């Protein structure tokens, strides 16, 4: 049984209390990368979010210690060297279900902001500027086509919400095609068709070695496309997106994730056509409570 749990990036209070009530010692402390590995030797399990990375150096330093489980409180596990950890006898888990709705709702919030110029209009209002004429040229989502890249848990929720708004939804499936999704308002197409037909592009896919939005893919999109990214910063070539915003190829962008969270692309973040947030996709009290409960289930069931 796991006894000692390290929580590096925060955890719902009720979940921490539940673990402690069940006899676990829970230590809430953040460690810098160079200090994390040795510290992990003294814990049976580590719960991390996006701020903490457990890669090969940390795993090497933890070998021979107590560590048996790493849990990512969130969807992706790209901040963990998963095969390396598992080869060292350390299991890796995540909480893919708990935050899906929160992220999907944020995608729609960013999309609405892009469609109606909410971010920049609100900013100018706070500067005591009445820019009604400039920002009365939004567009309605009903009747538009949303291309959702990545049709997993989050992507399917985004697709359902877009359909409820009267949008047509397109997606691309590379491996297992989800059953029961296709209907009059949703179909799977090739990537070429999706890029050419989408009025808005919403990224919900895991990060890969190549950006999904780069100069090549942007050239295949409609003029005036809107791009929303709630997946991984690596899915967007930020320099290419900034160029496309400047040229008008991209009408607006909604971004929650960035190539660097320590030093985001400020030219992109402060662009008047960009609505942005600092990686808060799972940042709702409901999602955090669900994540906490799922973490407790994983630790106690290990």
Spatial separation of the C-alpha atoms in residues 251 and 54, rounded to whole Å: 38
Residue 139, CB half-sphere, CA atoms under 13 Å: how many? 16
**Residues with Cβ within 8 Å of residue 271, at least 6 apart in sequence:** 242, 245, 253
DSSP 75-123: S--TTB-HHHHHHTT-EEEE-TTTTHHHHHHHHHHHHHHHHHTHHHHHH
What tokens appear for 280 in the block? 């808060």
Cα-to-chain-centroid distance, residue 180: 24
Pick from 107, 283, 290: nearest CA to 205: 107
* Active-site residue, 174 included: no
Contact 226, 111 (CB under 8 A): yes
What are the φ/ψ torsions at residue 151 (nearest 5 degrees)? -110, 50
Active-site hit among 72, 116, 153, 279: 279
Burial of 81 (0-12, 13-18, 19+ CB in 10 A): buried
* Active-site residue, 279 included: yes
Spatial separation of the C-alpha atoms in residues 191 and 18, rounded to whole Å: 46
Active-site hit among 156, 232, 271, 290: 232
* Active-site residue, 126 included: no
Residues marked active site are found at 232, 261, 279
């Amino acid at each position: 049984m796991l006894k000692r749990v390290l929580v590096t990036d925060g955890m719902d209070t009720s979940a921490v209390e539940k673990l402690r009530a069940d006899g676990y010692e829970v230590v809430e402390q953040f460690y810098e990368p160079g200090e994390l590995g040795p510290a992990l030797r003294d814990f049976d399990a580590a719960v991390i979010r996006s701020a903490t990375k457990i890669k090969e150096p940390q795993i090497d330093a933890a070998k021979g210690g107590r560590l048996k489980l790493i849990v990512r409180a969130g969807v992706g596990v790209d901040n963990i060297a998963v095969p390396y950890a598992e080869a060292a006898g350390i299991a890796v888990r995540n909480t893919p279900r708990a935050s899906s709705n929160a992220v999907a709702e944020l995608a729609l919030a960013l999309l609405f902001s892009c469609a109606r110029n909410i971010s920049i209009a609100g900013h100018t209002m706070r500067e005591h500027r009445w820019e009604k004429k400039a920002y009365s040229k939004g567009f309605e989502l009903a009747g538009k086509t949303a291309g959702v890249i990545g049709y997993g848990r989050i992507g399917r929720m985004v697709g359902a919400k877009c359909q409820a708004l009267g949008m047509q939804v397109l997606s691309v499936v590379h491996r297992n095609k989800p059953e029961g999704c296709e209907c009059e308002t949703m179909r799977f197409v090739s990537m070429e068709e999706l890029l050419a037909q989408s009025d808005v592009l919403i990224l919900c896919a895991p990060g890969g070695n190549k950006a999904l939005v780069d100069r090549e893919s942007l050239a295949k999109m409609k003029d005036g496309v809107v791009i929303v990214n709630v997946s991984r910063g690596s899915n967007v070539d930020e320099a290419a997106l900034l160029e496309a915003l400047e040229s008008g190829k991209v009408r607006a962008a909604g971004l929650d994730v960035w190539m660097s969270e320590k030093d985001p692309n400020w030219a992109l973040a402060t662009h008047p056509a960009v609505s942005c947030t600092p990686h808060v996709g799972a940042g709702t009290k409901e999602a955090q409570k669900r994540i906490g409960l799922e973490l407790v289930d994983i630790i106690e069931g290990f």
